[in-house]
Amino acid sequence: MSDAIVDGWCARIRDCAAREAPVAIVGGGSKAFYGHRVDGETLDTREHAGIVDYEPTELVVTARAGTPLADLETALAAERQMLAFEPPHFAEGATLGGTVAAGLSGPRRPYSGAVRDLVLGIRVIDGHGRHLAFGGRVMKNVAGFDVSRLMTGAQGTLGVITEVSLKCLPRPAAETTRVFECPADDAIRRVNEWSGHPLPLSATCYVDGRLAVRLSGAAPAVEAAARKLGGDAMPDADTFWRSVRDHAHRFFERGSGEVLWRLSVKSTAPFTDFDGVQLVEWGGALRWVRGASPALDAARLRAFAASHGGHATLFRGGNGRDGIFHPLAPAVMTLHRSLKEAFDPVRVLNRGRMYAGF
């Protein structure tokens, strides 16, 4: 049945390639706000769903792209395991395929890895309608180029993801969150210092003048670390971290005309005021900036991110015309075009989603 679905998609993509008709890949639509708008015939991945293989003691799960993220997480939770990159859902209905294609990770990312770190294998349909398998279902595998990670975060521009194998990890036995009132630059300095010590950190978030630090691990270790760090206990911390992960936190409510920028920078980059409000995650390495569109100057944000080893993305509220993703260096852009050519020369798949032409 499922094979028939994939075969059908392959045939459709071949047909679209022959007609040079673009295809817009969609899953749950939870990240429709992200990236440039794609025009084309819709290919809905949700009909290809379900867990293919899950062996908890192997720490590997394989599931079809249309599998709802929530279902996958429930299956892992039943075995006291989790997707350690703490994937953002953003809205109900988020799928595994969309999660991997978007390449976005949640609060646990600096400590347990990003989605790209946990992807072990992938199956994709390229722009010729060929169904290809890369990587595998084992933890260590260096056979062939790492196409699984190349596809992760490529937003469907190099292939339609049909199936993914991911490393999963045990859920921590205990978790607690400590809160500290402090100025922003102090918060950034502190989290960087703490990250240099063997502490069981699993998330940090600075918002509204307060720094929240999550500790995860064996109960005695979490308790000892909490005593060492001090601060106040946060009640109902799970709800807080979920709200940060999914952008349900008040901070992410945009007023009319407001945009949200995502600045991924070196963790020690100084706190800088951009005429907007900020939420700082990932031990200082991720800065969300919300503000009125004209006041938040794109050039200034991009220059800041670049000068601190990173990049800036107009995450929400763009006008759909200006660039969303950080411009690439010319030589790197050339490689991107060559890779697009290698996988999807007719430029059928999600054309223009990332950069002009792909």
Partner 1 sequence: MLDPTVHRSLAAVLPAASLLTAPEDTKPYECDGLTLYRERPAAVVLPDTEAQVVDVLKLCHLARVPVVARGAGTSLSGGALPNAQGVVLSLAKFRRILSIDPLARTAVVQPGVRNLAISEAAAAFGLYYAPDPSSQIACSIGGNVAENAGGVHCLKYGLTVHNVRKLRAVLIDGEIVELGGDALDSAGYDLLALITGSEGLLAVITEITVKLLPKPQCARVALAAFDDLEKAGAAVGAVIAAGIIPAGLEMMDQPATRAVEDFVHADYPLDAAAVLLVESDGVNEEVAAEMDEIKRVLTESGATSIRVSKDEAQRLLFWSGRKAAFPAVGRISPDYYCIDGTIPRRALPRVLSAIEAWSVEYGLRCANVFHAGDGNLHPLILFDANVEGESAKAVAFGDRILGLCIEVGGTVTGEHGVGVEKLKTMCEQFGTEELAAFLRIKGAFDPQGLLNPGKAVPTLARCAEFGRMRVHAGELRHPDIPRF
Q: Which residues from 70-99 bind partner 1, rule CB under 8 A?
A: 80
Whole-number Cα distances in Å, 167 to 77, 130, 286: 14, 26, 24
Cβ 109 to partner 1 shortest distance, Å:
6
Maximum alpha-carbon separation in the chain: 65
Judged by CB under 8 A, the residue of 5, 21, 24, 169 near partner 1 is 169
Cβ 256 to partner 1 shortest distance, Å:
28
Kindly state whether residue 218 participates in binding partner 1, applying the rule CB under 8 A.
yes
Cβ 19 to partner 1 shortest distance, Å:
21
- Among 286, 280, 237, residue whose Cα is nearest residue 265: 286
Kindly state whether residue 272 participates in binding partner 1, applying the rule CB under 8 A.
no
Q: Which is nearer to partner 1, 50 or 170 (CB)?
A: 170
Judged by CB under 8 A, the residue of 48, 149, 247, 249 near partner 1 is 149
Kindly state whether residue 282 participates in binding partner 1, applying the rule CB under 8 A.
yes
Residues in the chain: 358
Kindly state whether residue 14 participates in binding partner 1, applying the rule CB under 8 A.
no
Q: Which is nearer to partner 1, 66 or 200 (CB)?
A: 200
Judged by CB under 8 A, the residue of 10, 72, 164, 199 near partner 1 is 199
Cβ 354 to partner 1 shortest distance, Å:
7
Question: Checking DSSP bridges between strand 41-44 and strand 23-26, what pairing results, if any?
Answer: parallel
Kindly state whether residue 1 participates in binding partner 1, applying the rule CB under 8 A.
no
Cβ 340 to partner 1 shortest distance, Å:
9
Window of 24-32, 90-98, 166-174, 288-296 that interacts with partner 1 by CB under 8 A = 166-174
Question: In degrees rounded to 5, what are phi and psi of residue 321?
Answer: -110, -45
Total residues at interface with partner 1 (CB under 8 A): 88
Token couple for 233: 């206990």
Window of 4-12, 179-187, 206-214, 306-314 that interacts with partner 1 by CB under 8 A = 306-314
CA distance 254 to 328: 28
The DSSP secondary structure of 38-83, one letter per residue, reads --SEEEEGGGS-SEEEEEGGGTEEEEETTSBHHHHHHHHHTTTEE-
Q: Which is nearer to partner 1, 37 or 130 (CB)?
A: 130
Exposure on the CB side of residue 247, measured as CA atoms within 13 A: 23
Kindly state whether residue 175 participates in binding partner 1, applying the rule CB under 8 A.
no
CA distance 324 to 322: 6
List the alpha helices (DSSP H) in the chain. Answer: 2-19, 69-77, 96-102, 109-112, 115-118, 147-151, 184-195, 219-229, 237-245, 298-307, 330-343
Kindly state whether residue 66 participates in binding partner 1, applying the rule CB under 8 A.
no
Judged by CB under 8 A, the residue of 59, 91, 292, 346 near partner 1 is 59
Cβ 322 to partner 1 shortest distance, Å:
15
Judged by CB under 8 A, the residue of 217, 240, 259, 290 near partner 1 is 217
Token couple for 299: 């050039």
Binding map of partner 1 across residues 103-142, x = CB under 8 A, - = no contact? x-----xx--xx-xx--------x---x-xxx-xxxxxxx
Judged by CB under 8 A, the residue of 19, 37, 197, 300 near partner 1 is 197
Q: Which is nearer to partner 1, 68 or 84 (CB)?
A: 84
Identity at 76, one-letter amino acid code = L
Task: Tell how many helices (H) and how many strands (E) occur in the chain.
Answer: 11, 17
Kindly state whether residue 339 participates in binding partner 1, applying the rule CB under 8 A.
yes
Question: Checking DSSP bridges between strand 210-217 and strand 160-167, what pairing results, if any?
Answer: unpaired
Is residue 244 within 8 A of residue 281, CB to CB? The reply is: yes
